[in-house]
């Protein structure tokens, strides 16, 4: 007999393997008088079985897929909205930069529209949850105004520096770096997943870095100022408004996402029709195909649990040290 047989375990994802085992290995010794001895899962008794005996109760405590979540298609599509929004933000940002670079969009106009939309968003931000979030955090309007003023003043003051900051670096390097940073922004963005790679700080920093890189290639320092301010608006302020909209008025959120996506695509279409088509396909697959795949792949889930799993400490033990 060959020492290792092809194992019947883990051959196929069928669920019956573990419960109905019939290896018939190391049969209990026959010939004992009376009822045959019953195998017990204990080590302290010397049992009349060989050491490699496999009982019918082998693996009886095995459980499969006990923590599996059931997903609903449209709920997953709704969650995918966050990814759509972020992809569109990056797209809109790049389009605006292209317009600025070509001098088709004046910085005054961008600043004006940006300011108007930010004020509108600011009002909405409080209106959506009737000021509940503000009461909880205890932050005043005055504090908001102060930080906004400080930020705008500093950006304006430093925009000539930004303009000349990367003069010694070749434009190709700048483009490559910006692409990398924007991709990084998308990867590390907090989409609501509880994973180790998520880091909203890193994500926002990468986006701002990309905006600084790109702004330095614009014609004048006012352009650079407009670009960095716009980056803050779209990468920092806009997602926090979205989060509130999503939590409080889901239908508004869906329509906002929809129109934002249309806007991003229209902007891209005015630059490159092929790009717009590819972007459209990307959004479509993220919104509808990926959720479908996620739900289909759940069927192949084969997660094994049993007494060998490391126990989890579920309670909060820090209370003993407070």
**From candidates 111, 198, 290, 304, binder to other proteins by CB under 8 A:** 304
Name which of 39 and 98 has its Cβ closer to other proteins: 39
Token pair 């019956």 is at which residue? 16
Residue 197 interacting with other proteins (CB under 8 A)? no
Instruction: Tokens for 144, please give them.
Output: 């908001």
Nearest CA to 85 out of 320, 262, 222, 289 is that of: 262
- The alpha carbon torsion through 234, 240, 241, 242 (nearest 10 deg) reads 90
Nearest CA to 278 out of 83, 80, 87, 86 is that of: 87
The span from the CA of 136 to the CA of 159, in Å, is 36
Q: What residues numbered 54-83 form the site for other proteins, per CB under 8 A? A: 54, 58-59, 61-62
**From candidates 6, 20, 168, 201, binder to other proteins by CB under 8 A:** 6
Q: Residue 165: left (phi > 0), alpha (psi -120 to 50), or beta? A: alpha
Do the Cβ atoms of 267 and 244 come closer than 8 Å?
A: no
What's the N-to-C CA distance of the chain in angstroms? Answer: 63
Name which of 132 and 302 has its Cβ closer to other proteins: 302
Token pair 């907090």 is at which residue? 190
Strand runs labelled E in the chain: 63-64, 304-305
Name which of 138 and 307 has its Cβ closer to other proteins: 307
Nearest-approach distance from CB 303 to other proteins, in angstroms = 7
Residue 314 interacting with other proteins (CB under 8 A)? yes
Nearest-approach distance from CB 312 to other proteins, in angstroms = 8
Among 28-36, 48-56, 85-93, 244-252, the segment contacting other proteins (CB under 8 A): 48-56
Nearest CA to 59 out of 107, 83, 104, 23 is that of: 23
| Contact letters for other proteins, residues 252-291 (x by CB under 8 A) | ----------------------------------------
**From candidates 33, 38, 42, 104, binder to other proteins by CB under 8 A:** 42
Residue 7 interacting with other proteins (CB under 8 A)? yes
Among 40-48, 95-103, 120-128, 200-208, the segment contacting other proteins (CB under 8 A): 40-48
Residue 297 interacting with other proteins (CB under 8 A)? no
Instruction: Tokens for 10, please give them.
Output: 């883990």
Q: How many CB atoms lie within 10 A of CB 49?
A: 16
Name which of 2 and 170 has its Cβ closer to other proteins: 2
Residue 16 interacting with other proteins (CB under 8 A)? no
**From candidates 5, 33, 38, 195, binder to other proteins by CB under 8 A:** 5
Residue 194 interacting with other proteins (CB under 8 A)? no
b/e sequence 231-250, b meaning 16+ C-beta within 10 Å: bbbbbebbbebbebbbeeee
The span from the CA of 57 to the CA of 60, in Å, is 5
Residue 4 interacting with other proteins (CB under 8 A)? yes
Nearest-approach distance from CB 188 to other proteins, in angstroms = 19
Name which of 142 and 308 has its Cβ closer to other proteins: 308
Residue 306 interacting with other proteins (CB under 8 A)? yes
The span from the CA of 54 to the CA of 26, in Å, is 7
Among 43-51, 98-106, 116-124, 221-229, the segment contacting other proteins (CB under 8 A): 43-51
Residues that bind other proteins (CB under 8 A): 2-10, 23, 25-26, 41-44, 50-52, 54, 58-59, 61-62, 303-315, 317, 320-321
């Amino acid at each position: 007999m060959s020492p290792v047989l092809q194992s019947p375990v883990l051959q196929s994802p069928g669920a019956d393997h573990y419960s109905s085992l019939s290896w018939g290995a190391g049969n209990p010794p026959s010939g004992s008088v009376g009822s045959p001895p019953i195998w017990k899962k204990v080590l302290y008794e010397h049992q009349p079985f060989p050491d490699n005996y496999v009982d019918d109760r082998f693996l009886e405590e095995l459980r499969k897929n006990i923590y599996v979540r059931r997903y609903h298609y449209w709920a997953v599509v709704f969650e995918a909205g966050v990814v759509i929004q972020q992809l569109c933000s990056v797209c809109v940002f790049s389009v605006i930069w292209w317009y600025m670079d070509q001098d088709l969009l004046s910085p005054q106009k961008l600043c004006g529209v940006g300011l108007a939309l930010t004020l509108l968003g600011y009002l909405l931000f409080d209106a959506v949850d009737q000021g509940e979030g503000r009461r909880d955090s205890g932050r005043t309007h005055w504090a908001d105004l102060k930080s906004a003023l400080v930020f705008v003043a500093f950006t304006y003051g430093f925009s000539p520096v930004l303009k000349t900051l990367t003069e010694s670096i070749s434009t190709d390097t700048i483009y490559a770096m910006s692409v990398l940073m924007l991709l990084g922004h998308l990867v590390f963005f907090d989409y609501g997943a509880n994973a180790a790679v998520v880091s909203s700080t890193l994500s926002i920093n990468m986006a701002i870095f990309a905006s600084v890189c790109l702004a330095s290639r614009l014609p004048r320092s006012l352009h650079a100022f407009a670009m960095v301010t716009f980056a803050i608006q779209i990468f920092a302020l806009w997602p926090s408004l979205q989060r509130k909209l999503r939590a409080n008025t889901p239908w508004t959120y869906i329509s906002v996402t929809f129109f934002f996506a249309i806007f991003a695509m229209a902007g891209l279409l005015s630059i490159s029709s092929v790009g717009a088509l590819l972007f459209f396909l990307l959004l479509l697959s993220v919104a509808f195909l990926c959720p479908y795949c996620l739900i289909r792949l759940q069927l192949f889930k084969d997660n094994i649990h049993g007494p060998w799993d490391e126990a989890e400490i579920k309670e909060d033990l820090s209370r003993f040290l407070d």
